[in-house]
Structure formats: C-alpha cells, structure tokens
Structure 1
Amino acid sequence: MPTNTYKIFNKDCVGLSGVAPQSIDALVTDPPYGIGFQAHEWDKSLPNKQIWSDCLRVMKPGAFGLVFSAVRLMHRLMVDLEDNGFIIKDVLFWVYLNGMPKSRNVGLNIDKKLGVDSKIVGKYTYMQGYKKGGADSYTNPQQKNKYKPSSSLGKKYDGAGLGIKPAYEPIILIQKPLEKGLNVAENVIKHGTGALNLEETRIPFEDGEGEVGHNPHPKGRVAANIIRTETMDDGYDKFFTVPKVRQHADDYNIHPTLKPVSLMQHLVKLLTFEQQTVLDPFAGSGSTGVAALNLQRNFTGFELSPDYAKIAQKRLKAVQLP
C-alpha cells in the first residue's frame, strides 16, 4: 500500500502559498463561523473572501468542496462562495442531540433589573466541555447555585429564553465548475474530478433488514444529506450516524471545535477517491488530515495557530506510524 503524503503549513491560508494551481481534488474545511464562539477572537468574523478565490484557483475543474457553517451566517458564507466562482450544490445537516443551548432565564434578568434578589433553590453541577485550558472541567466540575425569580414579573417569565437548543450544523456542498466545453465524463477522464463517490459512502442495510426501494443496491442506500448522531427508526430511511466529540476524548487535543474523525472520513470519502488530495485551509487540530490519510488520500492543510499546528502534526504522524 503506498504511503500517502501530508503537508501542514503553520501560516495564514490567504494566498495558499505553496499549493500549485489545479492540484487539489477536494476541499473539506471547518472555517470560523463569524458568531464569536465563546468569545474566541478568531471566530468574530467570516473568513477573508480571498481565501475562497484562492481555493477555486488551486482546485481542479469539477472538484467538490464541503464547508462547515452556522445557521445564523450560513447565507452570507454561501454568497461569498458563490461570488468567488463556486456552484452551491446542496447543504448537508450534521444532526446531533447534545448541542449546548445558548440562552438565559429572562425571569432572573428581570429580577436583576428590578433590583430584586432571586431565590437560591439548590445547587447544580456545571461541566464545561470546551473550557479554555483543556478538559480539566470534566475531572473538576463546579458546584453552582440554582436560582428562581422572586419578583412577580420575574416569576411570570421564569424559564423564558432567547433561543432554542441547537441540534445541527450545516455543511455547504460546493463545486468548482467543470472545464469549459467538457461534460462530466470528459472532465473525470481529464482531471479525475466532477463526480461524488456514492458507491463507497452507501449506508449498509442493518442486520436482518429487508432491502428497500424499487431497485435496492447490495451495498445499501445512497448517503443522505442528513447526518445523524442516532439511528432514525422511521421504517425506511437510515442516515449515517456519528456522535459529537468532547476534548476529553484525546488528552492532548485542546481544540475548541473538534470534529469527529468518523464524520470527516465520511465527508472525505464522499468527495474523493484513493490517492487524491484533500485541502483544508482551516486545519485546526488536523481531523480532516487524519481522515484523509486513513482513507489513503493525500492532505494539505493550513493552520495559523502554532499550538494547533503542532497537535495536527502529531496526529498526522501517528497515522503513518507502522
């Protein structure tokens, strides 16, 4: 089996310096969402639009990409991608049930505004999975007071909030246009890009499950654009199932938005074939690269943070160890 190659550039991805034009077979990346995640400086705005122009330049004609986003600014990111030459093909939804609600008890806010002391009604254990400094909060959870509103107006709005529990992340499926004058088959023959790897990403039938559909395939169903963390028992459709991850899953990986390697493998496999090259301009701790190497793909990544770049190098090197 040939050894696949990887490169991690510890520098700004603007310009994609060191990557040759039309050398990349697929883009899989988890960029800043622009929502100010946990007050991180790097997430205060959407990526520089030039990055998408650079990606288009280094990708082969017909190459696909998957770009993670957030609901609030997905539309802005899609416009940026489209304005820089990409075709919007679909939006995949990574669905999970352990999202962190971003809200507050408005009843307690009303007490505070009215100058009324809210009532302490007990204690609760606070566990922050993405705490700065690593996963220490898992071994040292905090005990915090539990409050209930005291004012009459506060009691009326007790439990009222500002948002519902997030349970999915959108992943934008994009494509660089085919080479002018070529159809799909001609583009694949010339560049090796332009088609999704549907055969290798089929969802197998469960044990004892009868084949479904008018023309069932022995490998199972075509992967859906919904990726769930738990099996959906609806009698027909089954979706690719993958859980979220927390920092304590890896004792040296402190990246705050770590993605499961199993999820990234599914995405990499969907867009590419063996020996092709995957680009991630926001490589973080290297999950896309680990997925690529596990699947006998090559990988090129950019990561501005020296700490995360070192983690990525360590993880990628471990994949290639005998």
Structure 2
Amino acid sequence: MKSEHYEIYNKSCYGLGELKDNSIDAMVTDPPYGISYQNNYWDKDLPDKKIWEDSVKVLKPGSFGLVFSSVRLMHRLMVALEDAGFLIKDVMFWSYLNGMPKSRDVALDIDKELGSESKVVGKYNYVQGYKKNGAENYYAENKKLKYEPTSELGVQYKGSGLGIKPAYEPVILIQKPLEKGLSVAKNIIKYGTGALNIENTRIPYAKGETKVGHNPHPKGRVAANIIRTEPFSDEYDKFFVIPKVRQKAEEFNDHPTLKPVELMHHLVKLVSFENQTVLDPFMGSGSTGVACLTLKRKFIGYELDERYYEICKKRIDAQKIINESLLF
C-alpha cells in the first residue's frame, strides 16, 4: 500500500528490498523483545541481526534511530546493533508507574512441595490495573481465592516472589556513522542527517515557572533521556510526560504491545525533521506511522502479521482523513 506520504508492506522486513541504499533519514521501531510476551508467537526471539545490517545500508550516513527493547535482553540487542555498524549513543527510559509485576507467592509453592495444604483466607477481584476500568472477565463472577502458607518454612517465606514491578522500558538511541571524512555540518549539508531535533522536542516551562540556567531557552529545557508517565518535581529537571495506552483504547486495535501515539510523536520529532522519511521495520499496528503523518514525515513500514497490518491500514487511513480535513 503506497501513497505520496507513506509506504506500508505486509511482508517480512528482512532485506528491505524496496528501499535504496542511503535513502532513509531516520528509524523508529518497536521490534520483538524475545521474552515471549503473553506467549505471542512473534516474540519468541530477538530479531536476526540481518535486519540491523539491512537498516544500516538503507539509512543515510549520520541518521539516528530509536529501538525499543526489554530490560532482560537489551544488552544482546545493543551488541547486535553495534555489530551491524550502528553507534550506541544513549539509552532512553520510558518510565511508568502501572507496570504488571510478573511474580507469585513462592511460599505457596513451598507448601505444595512439603505436602502442606495452604489455607484459604478470603476472596478478591483480580483487576488488571493497566486496563481501563479493569478487565471485563475479572470481576465478581470470577472472584479469586486468597491463600496463605501453613508450613513453617512457607510462613517464613510468606509474600516472597521472583521479580520486582517493572516501571520502565529502554529505548536505545543509535546512529549510523557520518560519512568518512565529513564533519557533522558537512554531513548535514550533504545528506540532511547527523543531528537530533532538539529545538522541537524541548520541554516547555510549567505555568508560572521561572526560567532556569545561564542562558534559558524560550521554548524550555532540552528533553532528557527519561520519559515519564506522571510529572514529579525535583526543583530542577523536568521530563516529557506520556501515559501508557489503555487496552482497547481503539475499538479495532488489540495489539498487545501498543505504544502511545504521543510517545511516538516525541521520538519521531527527536530523530527527524519535517518532510524527512522515517522507517519502521516492525510497525505492528502503526503508531509510528500515525505519528509520522501527523508530523509531516513520510513513513515506510513493514509488518508480517496480516491482522496487525490491516489494523495499521485503518489507523493510517483515519489519520490521512484527519490531515486532509485540516487543509480546508
């Protein structure tokens, strides 16, 4: 599916055969994390490093990219990106407060191993906090039993678990090296790439806030490498604030790892400028594409799963209609 402003492909991204070498200005992508999230087939492994080698070829010298990852396997992804030829520039942290702890009460397992029957001490409604108003299938008619350990060792380990609550996702900031022999300025003159779009991603001053610094900028502070879901005051630094997506925020979109469009706005603006082309080899349901169309960037995306590709088409079409209406 192609237009003047976007190209989206329902196929594997490996090879990027439709794209010319040194033709893409930036990359923003949310690839599989390799952690079998919710047992989805597409998240069994990290992407093969070939896609990063392909990306290096099609990106212009000096181009920046942002790649989402998981805490557990970020180090392996960073090595693959480096081996492909990218420079690791930073790691941004999308920080949020409503992550799901992936753990259980080990004391109840101890009871089971010792042959002790854990004691039922009540009931509770299991409501997943990241779903708006809770999940429909987790209310009173499906109350869960609450247990406590009864063995001596189980009581000692009551409440012990296997992991702490996740509260951030890393986003790796990468760059294709400048053309050999070129300074940053010369690379920008030749390719239009080599610098981050700091000016248009500044954090505005709060209402009534006194400007800070020896040379305060009228648009606000330079964006930090921390992106938060809720503001907090530490008397100096401020952060870009964006909430996680509530499930089924869009009726037709059930992608399990949907990223907020507002977050993608910020990231797309950081690594690209108006009228440039942004690549997403793992576009999922198309949040990067929607952000690009909103921000006057051309978007090129790949998605192998036909269902997610169709969702992306709907979202792209809807944003296209919005864009056209704004011209009149």
Aligned to 2:269: 269
Q: Tell me, what secondary structure is at the counterpart of 1:214?
A: coil
Q: Residues 78-117 of structure 1: matches in 2 within 5 Å? A: 78-117=78-117
Aligned to 1:242: 242
Aligned to 1:139: 136
AA at the equivalent of 1:290: V
* 1:205-263 CA-partner distances (Å, limit 9, x unpaired): 00000001111100000000011111121111100000111222111110010100000
Closer, same or farther: CA 4–227 of 1 in aligned 2, 3 Å:
farther
> What is the deviation of 1:4?
5.7
CA distance in 2, matches of 1:95, 1:42: 24
CA distance in 2, matches of 1:225, 1:188: 23
* 1:47-106 CA-partner distances (Å, limit 9, x unpaired): 011000000011011000000011111111000000010000000000000011111111
CA distance in 2, matches of 1:281, 1:117: 51
Q: Residues 137-286 of structure 1: matches in 2 within 5 Å? A: 138-141=135-138, 142-286=142-286
> What is the deviation of 1:290?
0.4
Q: Tell me, what secondary structure is at the counterpart of 2:241?
A: coil
Aligned to 1:125: 125
> What is the deviation of 1:128?
4.4
> What is the deviation of 1:138?
2.2
Q: Is the 8 A contact 1:4 1:293 kept in 2?
A: no
What's the Cα RMSD here?
A: 1.6
CA distance in 2, matches of 1:130, 1:59: 36
CA distance in 1, matches of 2:263, 2:214: 29
CA distance in 2, matches of 1:292, 1:37: 27
CA distance in 2, matches of 1:255, 1:109: 33
> What is the deviation of 1:129?
7.3
Return 192-201 or 239-248, whichever deviates more: 239-248
> What is the deviation of 1:127?
3.1
Q: Is the 8 A contact 1:286 1:312 kept in 2?
A: yes
CA distance in 2, matches of 1:298, 1:207: 34
Closer, same or farther: CA 136–224 of 1 in aligned 2, 3 Å:
closer
Closer, same or farther: CA 204–213 of 1 in aligned 2, 3 Å:
same
> What TM-score, normalized to structure 1?
0.95
Q: Is the 8 A contact 1:247 1:254 kept in 2?
A: yes
CA distance in 1, matches of 2:6, 2:129: 30
Q: Is the 8 A contact 2:99 2:130 kept in 1?
A: no
Q: Tell me, what secondary structure is at the counterpart of 1:66?
A: strand
* Number of corresponding residues: 317
Q: Residues 281-320 of structure 1: matches in 2 within 5 Å? A: 281-320=281-320
Percent of aligned positions that are identical: 66
* 1:19-61 CA-partner distances (Å, limit 9, x unpaired): 1211111010011111121222211111011000000011011
AA at the equivalent of 1:19: L
Q: Is the 8 A contact 2:13 2:302 kept in 1?
A: yes
Q: Is the 8 A contact 2:25 2:60 kept in 1?
A: yes
Q: Tell me, what secondary structure is at the counterpart of 1:15?
A: coil
Q: Is the 8 A contact 1:138 1:248 kept in 2?
A: no
AA at the equivalent of 1:258: L
Q: Tell me, what secondary structure is at the counterpart of 2:235?
A: coil
CA distance in 1, matches of 2:13, 2:295: 24
Q: Is the 8 A contact 1:88 1:172 kept in 2?
A: yes
> What is the deviation of 1:151?
1.3
Q: Residues 48-59 of structure 1: matches in 2 within 5 Å? A: 48-59=48-59
Q: Is the 8 A contact 1:88 1:174 kept in 2?
A: yes
Q: Tell me, what secondary structure is at the counterpart of 1:169?
A: strand
CA distance in 2, matches of 1:118, 1:292: 54
Return 159-168 or 15-24, whichever deviates more: 15-24
Aligned to 1:37: 37
Q: Tell me, what secondary structure is at the counterpart of 1:171?
A: strand
> What TM-score, normalized to structure 2?
0.93
Q: Is the 8 A contact 1:4 1:297 kept in 2?
A: no
Q: Tell me, what secondary structure is at the counterpart of 2:101?
A: coil
* 1:161-206 CA-partner distances (Å, limit 9, x unpaired): 1111110011000000111111111111111100000000000000
Q: Is the 8 A contact 1:4 1:275 kept in 2?
A: no
> What is the deviation of 1:137?
6.9
CA distance in 1, matches of 2:80, 2:208: 46
Closer, same or farther: CA 182–65 of 1 in aligned 2, 3 Å:
same
